Amino acid sequence: MLTNPRSDRVKAVRALSRRSVRSRTGEFLAEGPQAVREAVVHRPDLVRDVYVTPEAAERHTDIVDAARAARLWVHDVSPEVLAAMCDTESPQGIAAVCRVLDVSLAAALADLPPDAIVCVLTNVRDPGNAGTVIRGADAAGADAVIVSDASVDVYNNKVVRSTVGSLWHLPIATGVPVPVILSALRERGITLLAADGAGQTLLHDVDLGRPHAWVMGNEAWGLEPEVREACDEVVRVPIYGHAESLNLAMAATVCLYASAEARRRRR
């Protein structure tokens, strides 16, 4: 049992809360049972160490069993050690050091089906919004998520938590400049749909029968004009009441579910 919250190992794990350390090591910390479970079940190949308190090991036998079955290192730690490792205030007794899982843009777009749905995040800065959009993309059955270079780091603990495991569920490319993303999608014959409250086309009028990508902008100021112009259509979710707008995560989820519903009807 690891009991010293000031040990080098604990410090090394805690350091993963810094983006620079994540970049250098290629590792991040998944905190809490939901994230650890998804990592262990979906991508055990990317899990390096699982840390668990005795109490959490008893409560989450499924996670510990799955980790042991996958021959992962499961370390018993005291609650003080776990708290010292984690960024979250109440990590619920379990965390895992994981290797980063993003793939190259080419790899993320390699196995798209002919009726692909792709979700592109440009300049999204708020961790909760970014994570919720990734979760929504997963739920709607999107085939890939691409996150632009000027966006929040997807391995930020708040992003990881907000994805509720979806981070491990679908191909994600990160750190790509927006023009590179758009031209790669265009080359593959994917229609670019900018989601924007000022769009000319209403969501229910857009043809979602083509392979397409939803291009989402910053949560406060939306899409940059040059990104909007580089897209094939600028689409807005209709507002039927008096609300000025939807927030990013809501608009993204409504758009992605419109795509999912169009695909369901065709298939």
Tell me which residues touch a copy of itself (CB under 8 A).
42, 132, 135-142, 164-166, 169-170, 204, 237-247, 249-250, 253-254, 257, 260-261, 263-264
Shortest reach from residue 208's CB to a copy of itself, in Å: 13
Give the Cβ contact number of residue 183 at 10 Å. Answer: 12
Q: Of 101 and 227, which CB lies nearer to a copy of itself in the complex structure?
A: 101
Judge residue 86's burial from the number of C-beta atoms within 10 Å of its C-beta, 0-12 exposed, 13-18 middle, 19 or more buried. buried
Closest separation in Å from C-beta 65 to a copy of itself: 19
Minimum CB separation from a copy of itself for residue 162, in Å?
A: 9
Please give the distance of CA 168 from its chain centroid, rounded to a whole number. 8
Which among 171, 178, 93, 86 is positioned nearest to 134, based on CA atoms?
171
CB nearer to a copy of itself: give 105 or 140: 140
What's the angle, vertex CA 133, arms to CA 70 and CA 60, rounded to 5?
30
* Least distance (Å) between residue 211 CB and a copy of itself: 16
State how far the Cα of 50 lies from the Cα of 208, in Å rounded to an integer: 42
Nearer to a copy of itself, 191 or 253 (CB): 253
∠ CA(17), CA(20), CA(24), 5° rounding? 105
In the complex with a copy of itself, the residue whose CB is nearer, 144 or 234, is 144
Q: Which is nearer to a copy of itself, 134 or 176 (CB)?
A: 134
Smallest gap from residue 87 Cβ to a copy of itself (A): 20
